[in-house]
């Protein structure tokens, strides 16, 4: 299953988490946590869009825009989480 993080859809950490929630979850009726542990959990699966541990591809388009708007340490950690997730193939565009 493929997911696209669209760097032109957010300009802050808060916007990033809303975007991630929108693309990775489906009909939860509640919000995911607004922290990097919750992000890692969402990547693992089981929140409506893909099963736990299911192999997924995450493509990040407009990455340079994200680099401009997000704190460098935060963005580096997000990229590290994506790169190290066992069930994720990660690509930057």
* pLDDT of 65 strictly over 80: yes
* pLDDT of 9 strictly over 80: yes
Higher pLDDT: 72 or 27? It is 72
Let me know: does 34 contact 14? Beta carbons within 8 Å: yes
Task: Tokens for 80, please give them.
Answer: 């590290």
| CB contact set of 49 (below 8 Å; sequence gap of 6+) | 1, 3, 23, 24, 25, 26
Band (26; pLDDT cuts 50, 70, 90): confident
- What's the CATH number for 2-92? 3.30.370.10
Residues β-bridged to residue 3: 58
| CB contact set of 18 (below 8 Å; sequence gap of 6+) | 10
* Domain spans of the chain, in order of start: 2-92
CB count in 10 Å sphere of residue 4: 15
What's the confidence (pLDDT) of residue 63? 97
What are the pLDDT digits (tens) for 40-64? 999 999 988 999 999 999 999 999 9
């Amino acid at each position: 299953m493929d997911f696209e993080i669209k760097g032109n859809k957010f300009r802050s950490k808060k916007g990033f988490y809303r975007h991630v929630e929108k693309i990775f979850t489906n009909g939860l009726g509640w919000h995911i946590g607004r922290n990097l542990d919750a992000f890692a959990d969402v990547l693992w699966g089981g929140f409506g869009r893909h099963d736990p541990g299911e192999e997924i591809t995450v493509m990040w388009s407009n990455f340079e825009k994200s680099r401009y708007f997000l704190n460098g340490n935060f963005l580096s950690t997000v990229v590290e989480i994506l790169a190290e997730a066992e069930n994720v193939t990660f690509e930057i565009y």
